[in-house]
C-alpha cells in the first residue's frame, strides 16, 4: 500500500510548481470562500458545480491556510484513500493479500499519470463516495447498509450532479444480484432523498431556494441541447494516449479487452450472475456519464478509467496473471522515470514552490502597496480573488462560463447576469480589473507593474497566458 501511494504522489507532485493546471479548480476555490462570508454558493457567486464541492474546498482552505500546494496534496490524499478502498474491495474472506488486489490501483495510477488528470477535479471526490458505497455493498452486513449506500451516492451527486446516474447503476445491480429488492431499493432511495432534503432545506431556510433550483435543475437540464459526438471524442481520447505513452495505451486497451471478453462470455452463456458483475455496469454508466456531460473533457472519463482498471481482477490464469503483472510494473517504472527529475526538484523545493506562483506574487504586490481592492472584476486568472479574499463583481466566477450559452441563457432568464456581462462589469466603478482580453480599458486605469516570477508557471496549458491587472487612478 505504501508503494502504491508513493507511486501516485510521485506522478502528482511533478506538476506542483505550476500555479494553475486547470482553471476549474481556481473557480472552485474562489466560490468556496462564500462560506467564510456567511453566504451559500449560488447566492452571490456562481460556479457550475453543486454546493458540497465548495464546502470541501473551503475546509481544505481552512486546514491549509489557503496554501495551494497543500490543497493539492490533500486532494491527492483523497486519491490515496480511493486506492486503499480498491485494495480492500477485492480481498478474500480469508484476509489474504494477493498482488491481484493491488493491480487495479496501480493500473488506475498509470491511466491518470498524464498531466490531463493531475488537477484536483470534482470527479475524484465523487469517486471516493461512489467507491465507498460499493465497498459497503460488498463488505458490510447491516440493516442500515442500503440507506448508507443511498446517502453516499447523494453526497457524490452534491459534488458532481452527473454522478446521480450511479444511483440507477446500483438499482440495476440489486435487480441482478439481490432478493427481496423492494425494501433495499426503498432504503437506498430514502438515504439518497434524506441527504438532498437536508441540502434543499439549508437553501430554503436561507432564502436562496430559487438559486438552488436554478443551479441544480434548470442549468443541468439545459445541457441537453449541447452538440456532442461520443464516438469521435472517445476515439480522440484513446489515440491521444499513444503520444503520451504507448505502453499505457496498451494497458488501457488490454483492460478494455478484458471487460469486453467478459461481456462476450455473458452473451454466450446467457448468464449475468457471476462474481464482480457490478464492474461491467459501472464501466457502462461511466461512459454514460461522459456522454451526458456532453463536453468531451478528458477528466469526465476519470470514472471510466477507474472502473475499467478493475477488470484486471478477472485474470485467473496463473501464467497470464504473471505476464500481466510484469507488464504493469515495467510500465510503471518507465513512467516514473519520465517524471523523476521534476518530481525530485519539487520535493526539494516543496516549502518554497508557492513563492514562484505569479498570481500569488501579484496579490502580494497589491497588498504591499496598500491598493484599494474592494471592487474587483476578474475574467481570467480568478485566483487573484482567492488570494485577496474578494467576490467577483460578476455573478459568474469561472471564466469559461461566459461562452456557454446553455448556462448564460438560464442566468439571464433569472436576472443574474447581463447580455454582455464582461463589458458591463468592465465599465462599472471598479478598483481593479483583471484580464488580458478585456477591451475598453479607459484612461482612468493604469496597468499594475509587478515582478512575475517564471511567467510560464501561470498556466500549464496556456504558455502564452498573460497576467494583466489594471488599477483605478481614482
User: For the residues of 30-43, what is the DSSP string, one character each?
Assistant: HHHGGGGGT--TTT
CB 448 within 8 A of CB 362: yes
Task: Please list, in sequence order, all residues whose beta carbon lies within 8 angstroms of the beta carbon of residue 146, skipping any fewer than 6 positions away.
Answer: 183, 184, 185, 187, 188, 191
Distances (CA, A) of 435 to 121, 237, 260: 24, 31, 48
212-219 average pLDDT score? 94
- Cell readout for 15 is 506538476
- How high is the mean pLDDT of the chain? 90
Distances (CA, A) of 257 to 86, 308, 312, 314, 332: 21, 10, 10, 11, 20
Q: Which residue has the higher pLDDT, 247 or 460?
A: 247
444-466 average pLDDT score? 77
pLDDT, position 45: 96
pLDDT, position 196: 97
Q: Is the pLDDT of residue 224 over 70?
A: no
Distances (CA, A) of 182 to 58, 151, 193, 291: 39, 17, 16, 30
What is the arrangement of strands in the sheet containing 469-472, beginning at the earlier edge strand?
376-378, 432-434, 469-472, 445-447
| Residue 11, CB-side half-sphere exposure with 13 Å CA sphere | 27
H-state helical runs in 33-121: 51-64, 68-89, 103-111
For the chain, the 3-state helix, strand and coil shares in percent, each to the nearest 5, are 65, 5, 30
Confidence at 230, pLDDT banded by 50, 70, 90? confident
Q: Which residue has the higher pLDDT, 40 or 315?
A: 40
CB-count burial class (<10 Å; 0-12, 13-18, 19+) for 254: middle
403-413 average pLDDT score? 91
Confidence at 94, pLDDT banded by 50, 70, 90? low
* Element housing 376 (H / E): strand 376-378
pLDDT, position 101: 75
Lowest mean pLDDT segment, chosen from 60-69, 98-107, 132-141, 356-365 = 98-107
Q: Is the pLDDT of residue 96 over 60?
A: no
Task: Convert the pLDDT of each residue in 51-71 to its tens digit.
Answer: 999 999 999 999 999 999 999
Q: Is the pLDDT of residue 318 over 80?
A: no
Cell 467507491 sits at which residue? Answer: 131
pLDDT, position 74: 95
Task: Convert the pLDDT of each residue in 282-305 to its tens digit.
Answer: 999 999 999 888 777 889 999 999
Give dist(CA 48, CA 402) in Å, integer.
12
Confidence at 321, pLDDT banded by 50, 70, 90? confident
Give dist(CA 146, CA 148) in Å, integer.
5
Give dist(CA 437, CA 403) in Å, integer.
14
Amino acid at each position: 500500500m505504501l508503494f502504491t501511494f508513493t507511486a501516485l504522489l510521485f506522478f502528482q507532485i511533478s506538476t506542483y510548481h505550476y500555479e494553475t493546471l486547470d482553471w476549474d479548480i481556481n473557480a472552485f476555490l474562489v466560490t468556496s470562500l462564500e462560506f467564510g462570508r456567511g453566504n451559500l454558493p449560488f447566492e452571490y457567486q456562481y460556479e457550475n458545480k453543486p454546493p458540497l464541492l465548495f464546502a470541501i474546498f473551503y475546509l481544505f482552505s481552512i486546514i491549509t491556510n489557503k496554501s495551494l500546494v497543500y490543497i493539492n496534496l490533500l486532494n491527492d490524499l483523497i486519491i490515496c484513500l480511493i486506492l486503499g478502498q480498491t485494495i480492500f474491495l477485492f480481498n478474500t474472506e480469508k484476509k489474504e493479500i494477493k498482488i491481484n488486489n493491488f493491480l487495479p490501483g496501480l493500473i488506475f495510477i498509470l491511466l491518470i499519470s498524464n498531466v490531463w488528470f493531475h488537477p484536483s477535479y470534482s470527479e475524484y471526490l465523487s469517486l471516493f463516495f461512489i467507491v465507498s458505497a460499493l465497498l459497503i455493498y460488498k463488505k458490510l452486513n447491516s440493516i442500515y447498509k442500503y440507506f448508507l449506500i443511498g446517502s453516499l451516492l447523494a453526497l457524490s451527486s452534491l459534488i458532481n450532479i452527473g454522478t446521480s446516474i450511479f444511483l440507477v447503476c446500483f438499482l440495476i445491480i440489486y435487480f441482478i444480484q439481490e432478493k427481496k429488492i423492494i425494501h433495499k431499493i426503498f432504503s437506498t432511495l430514502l438515504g439518497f432523498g434524506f441527504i438532498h432534503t437536508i441540502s434543499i432545506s439549508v437553501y430554503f431556510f436561507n432564502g436562496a431556494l430559487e438559486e438552488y433550483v436554478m443551479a441544480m435543475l434548470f442549468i443541468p437540464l439545459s445541457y441537453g441541447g449541447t452538440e456532442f459526438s461520443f464516438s469521435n471524442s472517445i476515439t480522440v481520447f484513446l489515440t491521444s494516449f499513444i503520444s503520451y505513452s504507448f505502453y499505457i495505451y496498451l494497458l488501457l486497451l488490454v483492460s478494455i479487452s478484458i471487460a469486453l471478453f467478459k461481456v462476450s462470455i455473458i452473451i454466450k452463456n446467457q448468464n449475468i450472475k457471476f462474481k464482480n458483475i457490478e464492474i461491467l455496469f459501472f464501466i457502462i454508466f461511466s461512459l454514460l456519464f461522459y456522454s451526458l456531460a456532453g463536453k468531451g473533457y478528458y477528466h469526465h472519463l476519470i470514472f471510466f478509467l477507474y472502473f475499467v482498471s478493475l477488470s484486471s481482477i478477472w485474470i485467473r490464469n496463473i501464467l497470464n496473471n504473471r505476464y500481466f503483472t510484469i507488464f504493469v510494473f515495467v510500465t510503471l517504472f518507465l513512467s516514473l522515470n519520465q517524471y523523476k527529475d521534476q518530481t525530485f526538484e519539487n520535493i526539494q523545493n516543496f516549502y518554497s514552490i508557492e513563492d514562484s506562483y505569479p498570481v500569488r506574487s501579484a496579490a502580494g504586490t497589491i497588498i504591499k502597496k496598500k491598493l484599494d481592492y474592494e471592487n474587483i472584476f476578474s475574467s481570467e486568472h480568478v485566483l487573484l480573488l482567492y488570494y485577496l479574499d474578494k467576490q467577483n463583481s460578476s455573478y459568474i466566477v469561472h471564466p469559461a462560463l461566459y461562452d456557454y450559452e446553455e448556462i448564460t441563457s438560464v442566468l439571464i432568464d433569472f436576472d443574474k447576469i447581463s447580455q454582455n456581462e464582461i463589458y458591463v462589469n468592465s465599465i462599472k466603478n471598479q478598483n481593479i480589473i483583471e484580464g488580458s482580453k478585456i477591451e475598453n480599458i479607459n484612461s482612468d486605469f493604469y496597468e499594475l507593474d509587478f515582478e512575475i516570477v517564471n511567467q510560464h508557471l501561470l498556466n500549464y496549458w496556456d504558455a502564452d497566458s498573460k497576467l494583466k491587472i489594471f488599477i483605478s487612478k481614482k
